[in-house]
A and B are shown apart, each in its own frame.
Chain A
Amino acid sequence: MNSLATLGLAFSSIIERPLRSLLTSLGIIIGVAAVYAMLALGEGAKKQVEESLNSISTRSMQIWPDWNRGRSSQARRSMPFTEKDIVELRSINGVFAATGSLTGRSYTIATETNDVSGNFMGVDPDQLRSGGGEMKMGENITFADIETRNPVVVISEGIQQRLYDNQNPIGSTLKINNIAFRVKGVTTKPDSNISFGNDDLFAWAPITVARERVIGGNRFVQNHVSSIKVVGDIGASLDTIEEEINIVLRRSRDLKAGAPPDYRIFSSRGWQQQAAEQTNSLSFLLAAMGAISLLVGGVGVMNIMLVSVTERTREIGLRMALGAQKNNIMSQFLTEALLLCILSGIVGLGVGFAMSKFAMDTMDVQLVFSPTVALISFGSALFIGVVFGFLPARRAAGLNPIDALRHE
């Protein structure tokens, strides 16, 4: 008896008992679907975590002076940072960008004919890199601009759109706080994860120009900056970088050993990790559900195959009398269990795909549909078929034909 005939035999035996086959399949179907969904979710989560770990926002640390400290009488008033701090921070190993900026309030940015309210900042060249943005046209602010107090400005796409109707603004003159600036470049919006609110209207000037001519005031004198942003290289340890930052800042701010810092470092990597852990635990839950379901399904398959062997004892005896060898009988029942699991596996994959698709459409989860995922979940069904089909098949093959023929 060849394998094709055995397959046909197994197939007809399954469809001759449709309800039983369907009910038996159910456990496997649910199991495979759960395993599939779990793997798709797990892969998705892994990809998401990888992406977010590599994103500018996760690699970023914001450093602000601790203004609250200044309000309590027993402590010294917190100091702004200086441009010198930035230079030192930039030289730390594994730092992708370090930028100090002077953040102003909203300013009116005006051409001859038009004006708009926007966020005006004094920056250094690293501002661009640290935000993950790119120059859309023209050039970025340079260190030379800072040195020479060159009154130039880089505007956002939003400003370009509002004031210039998307025409090329390079070289034209803008007035901010009644100071004239020449437009040097246009930059894209920074990485959306770090922009807060209506952040697409902004203008950057060299930090020296901004400090001395626009924002200035009492608070920012000489070489002060209001906040620092440090971005690590992809793969660099942010913890190590943070330690280095502390060393640099404590020295520059003359903090005594053991004294609390008068600045604060904010980073989003904590909750990114938390989110990853949550997805992992959801994955684990699904995996556990899939495994249990597959196990129960497998026991169901075994049970039904044992019933089938008992029911068909006479058929087995007859087949043996007519010349079936033990391995013919063995493969007949093993094939039947396997086929049942394969068919359930296919349906389970479909259900799993639909479930995952539905989850992806309705919830904010990312799923990855890869052949590997399908193969693993399908393979588990196959594995169940072999493992749980083996015992009943062996029992069938071990029957004595004389007794089997007389079985009532």
Chain B
Amino acid sequence: MPGSPNNLPLISCRGLTKIYVMGQSEVRALDGIDLDIYEGEFVAIIGSSGSGKSTLMNMLGALDQPSSGSVMINGENIGKMKSKALAKFRNNTIGFIFQQFQLLPKKSARKNVELPLQYRKPKVTDSASKADHCLELVGLKDRAGHRPTELSGGQQQRVAIARALAGDPKVLLADEPTGALDSKTSEDIMALMQNLNAQGITIIVITHEAEVAAYAQRVVEFKDGRILSDKRQDAAA
């Protein structure tokens, strides 16, 4: 059972603090966060802009390192890593989903999905078939040869999800995944994520929309760099 205290958490933040220095003033984007996320959870991190949720996302994605405190993910301490190790860690452990999809416009869906596998060591020999398999998981098997410009917004985000899955990550990190989509498509995407979670994939969604957060089992609300609330809920269908 995810969340039970006798399991080791997949992600563990202790006293996590991030301070940005802007000229004379200091901004505490994160201020002593303690947070555990267990394998198989579907967590929504919510909060208004400036609440620190994006900073947390950067920490959890190993894109940034804490000023003090620690972030342990899958047994590794993000704060102690060098640039090379961080890159390797991102490649092996994290699957990113972005608001703006971030697909390479001149490459086919398959090539886009293969992208994380290109940086994998040892070299992945069957990256094309892996990519096709991931596209199948998101229901785009027959669009593998299409370029992003030939796909709808929802389909593009599905390609991005397939790309996030391609590297077999420990956790999917989605930053406002429905921010650029209409409400019907948003529902489809969130249903897909819920479906993936049901298959055992840990998902963390950063959002400011309550409708999106409703799909998660757990909602952590941020305000001014601190956790305001941490609630478990019955996920929306």
Contacts and interface: CB of A to CB of B under 8 A. Distances in A.
Q: Is chain B a partner of chain A in the same complex? A: yes
Interface of A: 1-2, 5, 12, 16, 314-315, 317-326, 328, 401-402, 405
A320 B118 contact: no
B126 to A, nearest CB: 15
Interface of B: 58, 61, 63-64, 83-84, 87-88, 90-92, 96, 98, 102, 104, 106, 115-116, 118-120, 123, 163, 167
Given A323-B92, A324-B87, A324-B119, A315 B58 contact: no
A185 to B, nearest CB: 80
Nearest to B111: A12
Contacts of A2: 123
B83 A326 contact: yes
Nearest to B119: A323
A5 B111 CA distance: 12
B29 to A, nearest CB: 12
A2 B124 CA distance: 11
A325 B102 contact: no
A324 B120 CA distance: 9
Contact of A325 (B104, B116, B119, B167): B119
Nearest to A323: B91
Given A326-B87, A402-B63, 19 more contacts: A5-B118, A315-B104, A318-B104, A320-B87, A320-B90, A321-B61, A322-B90, A322-B91, A322-B115, A322-B163, A322-B167, A323-B87, A323-B88, A323-B90, A323-B119, A325-B119, A328-B87, A328-B119, A401-B63
A325 B58 contact: no
Contacts of A1: 118-119
Nearest to A315: B104
Contacts of B120: 323
A405 B102 contact: yes
B96 A322 contact: yes
Nearest to A8: B118
Nearest to B102: A318
Contact of B116 (A5, A323, A328): A323
Contacts of B92: 323
B103 to A, nearest CB: 9
Residue of A315, A317, A323, A402 ringed by the most chain B CB atoms within 10 A: A323
Contacts of A328: 87, 119
Nearest to B83: A326
A272 to B, nearest CB: 61
Contacts of B64: 402
Contact of B87 (A16, A315, A325, A405): A325
A322 B123 CA distance: 15
A5 B118 CA distance: 8
B106 to A, nearest CB: 5
Contacts of B163: 322
Residue of A5, A321, A401 ringed by the most chain B CB atoms within 10 A: A321
A405 B123 CA distance: 26
Contacts of A401: 63
Closest 10 CB pairs of A and B: A323-B91, A323-B119, A325-B87, A322-B116, A318-B102, A323-B90, A324-B119, A1-B118, A321-B96, A16-B106
